Amino acid sequence: MRLKDFKLLIATVLTAFPMLAQNKLSGYVTNQNDNSVVANVEVYDKISGLLTSTDSKGYYEFSSEKNELTLVFYKSEFEIWEQEFSLDGSQTLNIILQPLQRELSEIVINARKAKVFELNRLKDVEGTAIYAGKKTEVVLVEQSLANLATNNARQVFSQVAGLNIYQNDDAGLQLNIGGRGLDPNRTANFNTRQNGYDISADVLGYPESYYTPATEGLKEIQVIRGAASLQYGTQFGGLINFKTKDPNPNKPIELITRNTLGSFGLYTNFTSLSGTKGKFSYYTYFNYKTGDGFRPNSEFESKNVFAHLGYKFDEKTSVSAEFTHLYYLAQQGGGLTDRQFNEDAFQSNRERNWFKVNWLLYNFKLKHKFSEDTNFTFNAFGLNASRDALGFRSNRVDLIDPNEERDLIKGEFRNYGAEARLLSKYDIFGKKATFLIGSKFYKADNKEQQGPGSDGFGPDFDFYDNEYPNYPDQSRFEFPNLNVAVFGENIFYVNDKFSVTPGFRFEYIKTESEGFYKRINTDAAGNVIFEETLDDNRDFERNFVLLGLGLSYKPSTALEIYGNISQNYRSVTYSDINITNPAFAVDPNITDEDGFTADLGIRGNYKNAISYDLDVFGLYYNGRIGFVQKVRDDGRTISERGNVGDARMFGVESLVDFNLKQILGMTNDFSFNYFVNASFINSEYTDSKESGVVGKKVEFVPDANIKSGLRFGYLNLMANVQYTYLSKQFTDATNSEVANLSGVIGAIPQYDILDFSLSYTYKRFKLETGVNNFLDNSYFTRRATGYPGPGIIPSAPRNWYATLQIKL
């Protein structure tokens, strides 16, 4: 759909935008014992979830399109208040809560909370975002028993169906997540955000996430699948939004410090300060990590600072500012061939390879409530960052480093943007509806330079052009990108149970590439026999409209039937094209990808005994970018990256969580859950100009992806066992079983992992410990095309950790 169609769609939607009144309920919550007000009481609709919370004066209010609600008022120190209530216009309801007769342990508080509602899915409307009819999953990090100190993604995302995760970083410095056939490398196929704003290097030109928020500072992680393309950007994967913890509303200062020791010299410290004083609130943390790594030549050091400052003018208007800085330096042991991995999975023949990241994010956010029915948010954000990679990279990764000049790639990322959203609830033809309109402006000016580094051993990230003028791989490029988007969605409630949500996104994208690269050939003695400098300037401008539709039917609290279909688009990353890599070549005619995703599923909560989400999905790719093996005129076989062909993936994703405490009739002193997260996917290339591709499986798609876990708690003691299994997957479109000399191409064998974790809380102290890869399996999940390889990057052997938390 082009611009003319888009204008017609906008005109049609805006004509249906009258804002009329809804049912409204308000009141105060007080303590039965002394009539004092009770702040931070959570008010729920037992079917749809959280409605609002009481403020510092014990006051609450909310609006709803429903006429009949089952209201639940919850605060951990009080008895739960629950009652069916009929809404009719504007009403007042004051609530008196009865304090509990005994102090509850942390596990009992969590058990009581989980008994009332499920918090692992997003409501139809949250803030100024619409999620009706979409597949949404929320990781409740604060309740997780994962190894948070190292951001262990295998555990943190254990209940998010179908994710494929690179597991080669024992410190959690980078997050590598894919799914449904999407390359997990640096989560580049998702739109990654922190508290609603972008954090990747360049959303369009280089959407890789070198920064990952410290999991110990997160409240939850929101995952919205491909249908998120309309509201958050065009990526096939959807959205991953990291939400940091909120400021403590009840204290002017709260200090939490966590210190972790672990295998291979691991030490981490996480210290946070939080509080609220009047209208001012804050949350800030410092996270430090250091270790030797589980392979030789793999030491690292990381420092991460985050600060959130908020000011609430009144009940309608608030502002906040956030600042994030990450610096880390890591030595990289390099990749392995299959032969090297089979001989010794943890060997390294690279001791001069280094990687440095310097990431600075900033954000300003305004929230304003025009009325009970109309909310507005404005987000301004920016990035000032760099990424430097230094080392000896040879197509033959088993070659010994000759200790000559190293290859140096420096990237600078400067971008800024703003996103505005307006959401309003209104009536149309006597039925309730919710309308969202938004716009985004994004400007990037990135730079990439490749050339000779020093011949030393340490992390020297300066170019040595004068010393090595004949270095063959030299280039310098600038990548100015511009993106303007307008998006909108509308929930039409046919009745209280059924809703239809159409949406659109208009995109204007202009990506440019301005620079040059050199071709230099030398003879055996190092004399230049051929040299030329080639300018490579590109200008690619396009605009288009993406459309989508979501459906939701909720006949009861135990069942929701949902479905959606949305178009997707992914811009080719010019920065990758213009980097010389000895492990592969790039097709000069590489272009953008497009397609669509669709979901149809059922989910719900049956009597607080079983929580489930069963989903059938399809993902259709046109011009999918991948690798194929090609024979050159000189007889050499190389890997080439380009538009391989059209592909489709379809499968079943399921999560079933059994509340065994409820099923077995155990008391609230216990918690006992068992979950199964299973994904089964069929993938196939349906069309291609390349030989030997049609009918082959799509890369990074294991046929079976299963995670299962048992979680048991008694009072303040909790234990968790998790099992992970992934079947074999391929890394190139021709499904090569035999690896090449670089270790980049070849199959990734099936693997399974067992993790164990334990925690105990005593007053202000909490002890967490565990063993990851308990069975000490030797495996790998990644064949890296560049840094930290090229080649096979092993995953960690058995390792332990122990964390002591003190809260003051």
pLDDT tens digit sequence for 387-402: 999 999 887 899 999 9
Taking CA atoms, 583 is separated from 191, 295, 410, 629, in Å, by 27, 22, 19, 12
Measured between alpha carbons, how far is 222 from 137 in angstroms, rounded to an integer?
A: 6
pLDDT for 480-507, tens place per residue?
A: 999 999 999 999 999 989 999 999 999 9
Measured between alpha carbons, how far is 487 from 508 in angstroms, rounded to an integer?
A: 12
Checking if the pLDDT of 21 tops 60, the result is no
Chain mean pLDDT for the chain: 88
pLDDT for 327-382, tens place per residue?
A: 999 999 999 999 999 999 999 999 999 999 999 999 999 999 999 899 999 999 99
Cα radius of gyration (the chain) = 27
Checking if the pLDDT of 756 tops 90, the result is yes
Residue type, 283: Y
pLDDT for 620-668, tens place per residue?
A: 999 998 878 776 665 566 677 889 999 999 999 999 999 898 899 888 7
Query: Which residues touch 321 (CB under 8 Å, ≥6 apart)?
Result: 308, 309, 362, 363, 364, 365
Checking if the pLDDT of 684 tops 90, the result is yes
Which numeric CATH code is attached to 242-807?
2.40.170.20
Has domain 20-101 been given CATH number 3.40.1260.10? no
In degrees and rounded to multiples of 5, residue 401 shows phi and psi of -60, 120
Checking if the pLDDT of 169 tops 60, the result is yes
Spatial contact of 791 and 784, defined as CB atoms under 8 Å apart: yes
Query: Which residues touch 389 (CB under 8 Å, ≥6 apart)?
Result: 354, 355, 408, 409, 786, 787
Per-residue model confidence (pLDDT) at position 740: 73
Q: Is 608 left (phi over 0), alpha (psi -120 to 50) or beta?
A: left
Of 16 and 567, the structure prediction assigns the larger pLDDT to 567
Give the confidence band of 574 by pLDDT, cuts at 50, 70, 90. low
> What is the pLDDT averaged over residues 708-728?
94
Q: By CB neighbour count within 10 A (0-12 exposed, 13-18 middle, 19+ buried), where does 657 fall?
A: buried
Spatial contact of 546 and 2, defined as CB atoms under 8 Å apart: no
Residue whose C-alpha is closest to residue 737's, from 181, 179, 728, 395: 728
Length of the chain in terms of residues written: 808
Checking if the pLDDT of 705 tops 50, the result is yes
Checking if the pLDDT of 12 tops 80, the result is no
In degrees and rounded to multiples of 5, residue 463 shows phi and psi of -80, 145
Checking if the pLDDT of 165 tops 60, the result is yes
Checking if the pLDDT of 13 tops 50, the result is no
Half-sphere exposure of 472 (CA within 13 A, CB side): 13
Do the domains at 20-101 and 125-241 have one common CATH topology?
Answer: no
Per-residue model confidence (pLDDT) at position 18: 37
Measured between alpha carbons, how far is 29 from 568 in angstroms, rounded to an integer?
A: 46
Query: Which residues touch 192 (CB under 8 Å, ≥6 apart)?
Result: 175, 198, 199, 200, 207, 209, 239, 240, 241, 242
What number of other Cβ atoms are within 10 A of residue 537's Cβ?
11
Query: Which residues touch 667 (CB under 8 Å, ≥6 apart)?
Result: none
Give the confidence band of 800 by pLDDT, cuts at 50, 70, 90. very high
Q: Roughly how many angstroms between the first and final C-alpha of the chain, as a whole number? A: 57
Spatial contact of 13 and 436, defined as CB atoms under 8 Å apart: no
Measured between alpha carbons, how far is 402 from 647 in angstroms, rounded to an integer?
A: 42
Checking if the pLDDT of 735 tops 60, the result is yes
Half-sphere exposure of 541 (CA within 13 A, CB side): 2
Per-residue model confidence (pLDDT) at position 520: 74
pTM exceeds 0.85: yes
pLDDT for 413-472, tens place per residue?
A: 999 999 999 999 999 988 889 999 999 999 999 999 999 999 999 999 999 999 998 888
Token pair 């309309």 in the structure block, residue: 230
> What is the pLDDT averaged over residues 225-243?
93
Measured between alpha carbons, how far is 162 from 21 in angstroms, rounded to an integer?
A: 42
Beta strands in 21-101 (DSSP E): 23-31, 42-45, 49-53, 59-64, 68-74, 81-86, 90-92, 95-97
Helix (H) or strand (E) holding 147: none
DSSP assignments along 615-679, one per residue: EEEEEEEEEEEEEEEEE-TTS-EEEEEEEEEEEEEEEEEEEEEEEHHHHHT--TTEEEEEEEEEE
125-241 to CATH, choices 3.40.190.10, 3.40.50.1820, 2.170.130.10, 3.30.230.10: 2.170.130.10
Checking if the pLDDT of 797 tops 60, the result is yes
Residue type, 650: F
Spatial contact of 274 and 247, defined as CB atoms under 8 Å apart: yes
Three-state secondary structure of 596-618 = EEEEEEEEEEECCCEEEEEEEEE
Domain boundaries, the chain: 20-101, 125-241, 242-807
Per-residue model confidence (pLDDT) at position 303: 97
Measured between alpha carbons, how far is 51 from 25 in angstroms, rounded to an integer?
A: 11
Helix (H) or strand (E) holding 506: strand 498-522
Per-residue model confidence (pLDDT) at position 52: 85
Q: Kindly state the tokens that stand for 617.
A: 């999905």
Measured between alpha carbons, how far is 287 from 292 in angstroms, rounded to an integer?
A: 17
